[in-house]
């Protein structure tokens, strides 16, 4: 169950980047579950990682490697998060990196590991290392869809996005994939996301770009308010286009932001059990903090989310969430709440123009905007979420069985 058709469009090759997805049999024989990206020897890499204190072993090792050298390969497995696994987990993550390092005669710290799946189970290292020679032998520039499938867990469909933009008379490509459907309130990035461009970008500028676009995309989504132990988002510049870019290039930044937002929306549209894609827009706020505080309060309210699933225009739940968001000195007479363009609350009460039929019509849509105007400033923020269905409970109750 997911919202929208899930069409990824054309995923353009990025010069300098090759990839492969193979089956290591981590959970199910024959399922694509091990992915390798080759970045070339001149790539710049930026990363954003979970702030969960119990971060997974591959996250810790990835940050250590990224701090000392330029990576040449990413290796990603699904089916096992290698989180909550202690010293053995760190050693297992390192063994996976070491296998590629030895096969390609590279320092071990040029390999970055990523894992996703069940927490608290030791990584089946031998299954992964046995599959790596096959993966390295199959590297191609156009296996985006296979790789997007190879990093899925409870996802029902792959996520990818790609744009090409002309800068300085040359075509620059940006292509990325992501995964995630539950345990999603990224407090940095997302579950897993890998975005690549052939633009030539220096390391410091690349990290600045990543921080900027993550903040307006992956850091503006929530499925269930849970932050994963394994969240990792990587931005890679292969430099093959020879078009020098920095964070002040508005044309490139717009294209990059479009890719990140598309991937972030893809996670929400395919959230566990989701039947609706919901935009929470808060405007007229005094500052960014209170806008986000209110948007997340509404987006994460179980009562609001279940009403959305039922297509029930129970506007009192939105009103109650707005009132408990903790905004100081809120003037209720200035607050207005809308379902799409249907005003449901104004002047501290139900809008005089509101009808249940109008509210019902909006709530029956697959895509809904809840807009809240505070009338106390010029700040605005947007958060994207989904409804809460029976299937979400079933999926997570049965996740390990």
Rg (CA), the chain: 22
Tally of CB atoms within 10 A around 82: 32
* DSSP string of 213-234, one letter each residue: HHHTTGGGB-SSSPBPSS-EEE
What is the strand order of the sheet 336-339 is part of?
Answer: 349-350, 342-346, 336-339, 367-373, 277-285, 379-386
CA 11 to chain centre: 17
pLDDT of amino acid 395: 86
- Token pair of 317 as six digits: 């739940």
In the block, tokens 């993966």 appear at: 135
Task: List the beta bridge partners of residue 104.
Answer: none
**How far is Cα 3 from Cα 229, in angstroms, rounded to an integer?**
26
Kindly list the distances between the CA atom of residue 234 and the CA atoms of 21, 125, 176, 178, 252, in Å, as whole numbers in the listed order: 18, 23, 10, 10, 17
Task: Cite the DSSP H helix spans in 313-381.
Answer: 315-323, 356-363
In a 3-state reduction of DSSP, which class is residue 66? helix
Residue 189 has a pLDDT of 65
Alpha helices per DSSP H over 143-202: 144-150
> Which tens digit of pLDDT belongs to each residue from 370-394?
999 999 999 999 999 999 999 999 9
Distance (Å, rounded) from C-alpha 263 to C-alpha 162?
10
- Using CA atoms, how far apart are residues 239 and 200, in angstroms rounded to an integer? 4
Say if CB 261 and CB 176 are below 8 A apart. no
pLDDT at 190: 64
Q: What is the pLDDT of residue 370?
A: 98
CA distances to 95, 135, 147, 158 from 72, in Å: 16, 15, 17, 25
How many C-alpha atoms does 327 have within 13 Å on its Cβ side? 30
**Which pLDDT does position 23 carry in this prediction?**
98
The β-bridge relationship of strands 159-167 and 170-179 is antiparallel
- Tell me the domain boundaries of the chain: 18-269, 277-397
Query: Residue 153 has which token pair?
Result: 């867990």
**DSSP secondary-structure letter at 333?**
G
Strand 367-373 to 18-22 pairing: unpaired
| pLDDT value, residue 187 | 77
51 and 67 in contact (C-beta within 8 Å)? no
For the annotated catalytic residues, the residue numbers are 190
Q: Which residues have a Cβ under 8 Å from the Cβ of 37 and sit 6 or more positions away?
A: 17, 18, 19, 73, 74, 76, 147, 194, 196, 236
Q: What is the CATH number of domain 277-397?
A: 3.10.20.340
**CA–CA–CA angle 322, 216, 250 (5° rounding):** 140
Q: Give me the tens of pLDDT residue by residue for the chain, a chain 401 residues long.
A: 799 999 999 999 999 999 999 999 998 999 999 999 999 988 999 999 998 999 999 999 999 999 999 999 999 999 999 999 999 999 999 999 999 999 999 999 999 999 999 999 999 999 999 999 999 999 999 999 999 999 999 999 999 999 999 999 999 999 999 999 888 898 776 689 999 999 999 999 999 999 999 999 999 999 999 989 999 999 999 999 989 999 999 999 999 999 999 999 999 999 999 999 999 999 999 999 999 999 999 999 999 999 999 999 999 999 999 999 999 999 999 999 999 999 999 999 999 999 999 999 999 999 999 999 999 999 999 999 999 999 999 988 887 76
The pLDDT of residue 1 = 72
- pLDDT attached to residue 58: 97
Cα–chain-centroid distance for residue 40?
A: 25
Architecture of the domain spanning 18-269 = 4-Layer Sandwich (3.60)
């Amino acid at each position: 169950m997911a919202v929208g058709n899930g069409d990824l469009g054309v995923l353009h090759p990025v010069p300098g980047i090759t990839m492969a997805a193979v089956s290591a049999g981590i959970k199910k024989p024959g399922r694509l579950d091990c992915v390798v990206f080759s970045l070339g020897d001149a790539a710049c890499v930026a990363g954003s990682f979970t702030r969960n204190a119990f971060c997974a072993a591959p996250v810790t090792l990835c940050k250590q490697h990224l701090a000392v050298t330029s990576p040449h390969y990413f290796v990603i497995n699904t089916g096992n998060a290698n989180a909550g696994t202690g010293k053995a987990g760190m050693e297992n993550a390192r063994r996976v990196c070491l296998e590629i390092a030895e096969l390609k005669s590279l320092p071990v710290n040029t390999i970055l590991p990523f894992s996703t799946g069940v927490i608290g189970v030791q990584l089946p290292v031998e299954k992964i290392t046995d599959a790596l020679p096959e993966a390295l032998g199959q590297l191609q520039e156009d296996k985006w869809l296979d790789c997007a499938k190879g990093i899925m867990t409870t996802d029902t469909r792959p996520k990818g996005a790609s744009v090409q933009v002309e800068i300085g008379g040359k075509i620059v490509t940006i292509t990325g994939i992501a995964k995630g459907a539950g345990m999603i309130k990224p407090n940095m990035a997302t579950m897993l996301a890998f975005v690549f461009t052939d633009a030539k970008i220096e390391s410091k500028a690349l990290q600045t770009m990543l921080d900027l676009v993550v903040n307006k995309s992956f850091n503006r989504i929530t499925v269930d308010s849970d932050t994963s132990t394994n969240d990792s988002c990587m931005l890679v510049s292969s430099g093959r286009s020879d078009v020098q870019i920095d964070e002040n290039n508005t044309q490139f930044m717009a294209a990059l932001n479009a890719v990140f937002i598309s991937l972030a929306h893809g996670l929400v549209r395919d959230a566990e059990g989701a039947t609706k894609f919901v935009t929470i827009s808060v405007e007229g706020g005094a500052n960014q903090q209170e806008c986000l505080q209110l948007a997340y309060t509404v987006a994460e309210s179980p009562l609001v989310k279940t009403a959305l699933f039922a297509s029930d225009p129970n506007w009192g739940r939105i009103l109650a969430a707005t009132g408990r968001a903790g905004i100081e000195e809120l003037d209720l007479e200035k607050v207005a709440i809308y379902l799409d363009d249907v005003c449901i609350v104004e002047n501290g009460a139900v809008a005089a123009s509101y009808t249940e039929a109008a509210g019902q019509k909006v709530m029956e849509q697959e895509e809904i905007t809840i807009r809240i105007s505070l009338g106390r400033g010029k700040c605005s923020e947007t958060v994207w979420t989904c409804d809460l269905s029976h299937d979400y409970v079933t999926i997570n109750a049965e996740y390990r069985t």
